[in-house]
Amino acid sequence: MNYTTVEVRVRYVETDQMSFVHHSNYLKYFELARLEWLNFLGISYSQLEESGVLMPVVRASAEYIKPLFFDESFKITVSLIDPPKATLKFQYVVVNSKNITVCKGETVLAFLSKKTMRPTRCPKILNEKFS
């Protein structure tokens, strides 16, 4: 199951002294893509939290291939790797406006009960969407 974001533009604040996007911002881009995709599927992350389910990132990795620069546009494709169980595993590919891959990454999110702060089962709404 894949989703590609609308076009995003690099903001000046996201760049570093070398004039390209600081590596830490790619995790924010991954989150942006993940949340945009959930909204596209009709799943509200804020409603999940209100229902008592948290989804913290428990693992993240990124491979930086080419830099993005201020005011450059790009898109992120997010893919769910496995059906949801105790975790959700996503892959990301960031491409610039010339469709050149600039970064690849993965995140793993766990399901956590807001009340007990202990692992919990995948919410029914996610199981229905991803099965």
Tell me whether residue 29 is in a domain.
yes
Tell me whether residue 50 is in a domain.
yes
* Percent with pLDDT over 70 in the chain: 99
What secondary structure does DSSP assign to 7-58, as a single string? PEE--GGGB-TTSBB-TTHHHHHHHHHHHHHHHHTT--HHHHHHTTEE--EE
Tell me whether residue 65 is in a domain.
yes
Tell me whether residue 21 is in a domain.
yes
Domain that holds residue 50: 2-119
Q: Which pLDDT score is estimated for 56? A: 97
Tell me whether residue 61 is in a domain.
yes
Q: Which is the catalytic residue, given 9, 16, 73, 97?
A: 16
Is 71 a known active-site residue?
A: no
Q: Which pLDDT score is estimated for 128? A: 86
* Percent with pLDDT over 90 in the chain: 87
- CATH number at 68 reads 3.10.129.10
Tally of structural domains, the chain: 1
Question: What pLDDT, in 10s, does the model give residues 79-119?
Answer: 999 888 889 999 999 999 999 999 999 999 999 999 999 99
Tell me whether residue 25 is in a domain.
yes
